[in-house]
Structure 1
Amino acid sequence: HVDGQGIPLGVTVTGANVHDSRLIEATLKNSREMGGWFLGSAVRHLCLDKGYDYPRVSEEVYVNGFEEHIRSRGEEVRDRWRTPARRWVVERAFAWLKGFRSLRTRYCCYLVNFMGLLYLALACILWRKLV
């Protein structure tokens, strides 16, 4: 979970076989705990891709106080130039995380150790963006 400039607001770690839409509640909870102080605007927008187009996701997003922007499955891109894609911000944040070698390939056996390294990497990214 990142903001419009790619600043990390929340993170959730799970197995690769779990669909992203199942993690929306945990991710939004972590964003409140980790980066809730950073969100100053009254209206918070949440841009999600087609994999999150489920009624339970929309309900969870609404309950947590976000305005959703979820492209529907089967919806064609009408005018690419009027509404530019925002997903690249998240992909750029993933690329920043891959810059940390210990996170690129998970060498840690314990989740606690991996989460410690992940939080350290996110703090470094946040420090670079703020300075």
Structure 2
Amino acid sequence: MKDQKEEIPKRFRIPDGLWEKIQRLLPPQQAKPQGGRPRNNDRRMMEAIVYVLKTGVQWKALPRSIAAGSSAHDRFQEWNTAGVFQKLWRAGLLEYEKIVGIDWKWQAMDAAIIKAPLRGCANRFKPHR
């Protein structure tokens, strides 16, 4: 049988060094009192989440060779609730600060607010025409 990891394109795989850092931020697994199916591999689920975030594919359209979309989405929700992604963002900023440096005294926020293209006056239905 093929190793499932082969099915994930290389650009979506998490390098070992990064995985060690991510793994420390994950919450401990909860024991299932009634047993059931074994929990999916955490690294596999994180790679599936990275795939969805990088490609923009819907969870249900996630290739089955990578992971079941519902399983990956459930894990995403679990880790989001546990604050894993906020911790990961913070750890990344702190590491970048150590290596390159961040001028914490100066920050800027950028945002764009635009009207929906089909809701504007120019595209509105005009019954008199």
* Fold similarity call, TM over 0.5: no
TM-score by length of 2: 0.29
TM-score by length of 1: 0.29
